[in-house]
Amino acid sequence: MTIEEAQQQVDQWIKAHGVRYFSELTNMAILSEEVGEVARIVARRYGEQSEKESDKHKDLGDEMADVLWVLMCLANQTGVNLTEAFQKNIEKKTLRDKDRHHQNPKLH
């Protein structure tokens, strides 16, 4: 599935099951909440914090997919084609950072 197809699938699901999109501001708050859930799992599973028993069975992939879902909702609502935006972003990073990371002694 391409990013564009995923955006279309989200839009079709919203129209068939979700009644309508939440407002952009509501979705921004939801996105922040979902990113926080990913951060909690990563911090406790891979960082120094101990993982709570209630968090041990949480699916990191599912939480990341929640982030992607809400991001696609926001993109659909605001007319952003994430495929085009992502391609432009890779080009920007390539031009800006093509040598930068190779010259970083912290990464070697």
pTM summary value? 0.90
What CATH number is associated with residue 34?
1.10.287.1080
The pLDDT of residue 99 is 87
Number of domains in the chain: 1
In this structure, is residue 91 part of a structural domain? Answer: no
In this structure, is residue 70 part of a structural domain? Answer: yes
* Residue numbers of the domain that contains 15: 3-82
Long-range contacts of 94-100 (CB under 8 A, 24+ apart): none
Could you tell me the mean pLDDT of each successive run of 10 residues in the chain, 108 residues long? 97 97 98 97 94 91 98 98 98 92 89
Distance separating alpha carbons of residues 2 and 7, to the nearest angstrom: 9
In this structure, is residue 59 part of a structural domain? Answer: yes
In this structure, is residue 68 part of a structural domain? Answer: yes
In this structure, is residue 71 part of a structural domain? Answer: yes
The angle subtended at Cα 103 by Cα 99 and Cα 105, nearest 5°, is 150
